Amino acid sequence: MAKQVKMENVDRISGLHDSILIHILSFLSAKQVIRTSILSTRWRYLFALLPNLHFDFEGDLWRRGYTSYRHIDIYSYASLVDKMLITHNMTNIDKFRLKCRTMIDPDRFHAWISAAVHRGVKHLDLNISPGKFTTRPAVLFTCRTLVTLKLCMEFDFVLDVPKGAHFPNLKTIHLEEVNFSNDDSVKSLLSGCTSLEDLVIEKFLMSNISNFNISHPFLKRLTLLYTYQSDYGWITIDAPNLVYLEYDDELVAGYSLQNLQSLVKADIDISNSLQVDGSTFFRGICNIRSLILSDTSLELLLSCAPLPVFPNLVKLKIHCSNDLRPYYDQWEKGLETLLSSLPELEKLEFNQEALISLPEKAPSCLLSKLKSIKISDFTDERDCIGKAKYFLKNGRALEKLTIRTALRYSGERKSKISKVLSASPWESKHLCIFIFGY
Residues in the chain: 438
pLDDT digits (tens, 9 = 90+) for 195-217: 999 999 998 877 778 889 999 99
- Least Cα distance to 401 among 428, 380, 438 occurs for 428
Report, as an integer, the average pLDDT of 68-94.
72
pLDDT digits (tens, 9 = 90+) for 245-260: 999 988 888 899 999 9
Please give the pLDDT value at position 323. 60
State the helix-helix crossing angle for 382-394 and 411-422, rounded to 10 degrees: 40
Inter-CA distances, 407 with 272, 322, 349, 387, 403, Å: 30, 12, 17, 19, 12
Please give the pLDDT value at position 67. 46
Please check the confidence at residue 111 and state whether its pLDDT lies above 50.
yes
Residue 112 CB coordination number (10 Å): 23
In degrees, rounded to 5, the angle at the alpha carbon of residue 219 between the alpha carbons of residues 215 and 222 is 90
The residue that leads in pLDDT, 308 or 230, is 308
Please check the confidence at residue 72 and state whether its pLDDT lies above 60.
no
Please check the confidence at residue 326 and state whether its pLDDT lies above 70.
no
Give SS3 for 316.
Answer: strand
Please check the confidence at residue 73 and state whether its pLDDT lies above 80.
no
Cα separation, 131 vs 264, whole angstroms: 41
Please check the confidence at residue 78 and state whether its pLDDT lies above 90.
no
The percent of residues in the chain predicted with pLDDT above 70, rounded, is 80
Residues 271 and 251 sit within 8 Å (Cβ to Cβ): yes
Please give the pLDDT value at position 87. 64
Beta strand pairing status for 244-250 and 221-225?
parallel
The percent of residues in the chain predicted with pLDDT above 90, rounded, is 48
**Contacts of residue 338, Cβ cutoff 8 Å, sequence gap at least 6:** 298, 301, 302, 307, 316
Q: What is the mean pLDDT of the chain?
A: 84
Please check the confidence at residue 268 and state whether its pLDDT lies above 80.
yes
Please check the confidence at residue 1 and state whether its pLDDT lies above 50.
no
Report, as an integer, the average pLDDT of 294-320.
94
Report, as an integer, the average pLDDT of 181-198.
93
Residues 239 and 214 sit within 8 Å (Cβ to Cβ): yes
Cα separation, 424 vs 398, whole angstroms: 14
Report, as an integer, the average pLDDT of 145-161.
86
pLDDT digits (tens, 9 = 90+) for 214-229: 999 999 999 999 876 6
The residue that leads in pLDDT, 30 or 141, is 141
Please give the pLDDT value at position 104. 74
Please give the pLDDT value at position 427. 87
Give SS3 for 219.
Answer: coil
Please check the confidence at residue 288 and state whether its pLDDT lies above 90.
yes
Please give the pLDDT value at position 7. 53
pLDDT digits (tens, 9 = 90+) for 363-386: 999 999 999 999 999 999 999 999
Report, as an integer, the average pLDDT of 265-276.
88
- Least Cα distance to 62 among 50, 82, 77 occurs for 77
Q: Give 303: exposed, middle or buried? Use CB within 10 Å, 0-12, 13-18, 19+.
A: middle
Q: Where are the beta strands (DSSP E) in 160-233?
A: 172-176, 179-180, 198-202, 211-215, 221-225
Please give the pLDDT value at position 178. 86
pLDDT digits (tens, 9 = 90+) for 4-58: 555 556 666 666 677 777 777 666 666 676 666 656 666 666 777 778 888 887 6
Please give the pLDDT value at position 56. 82
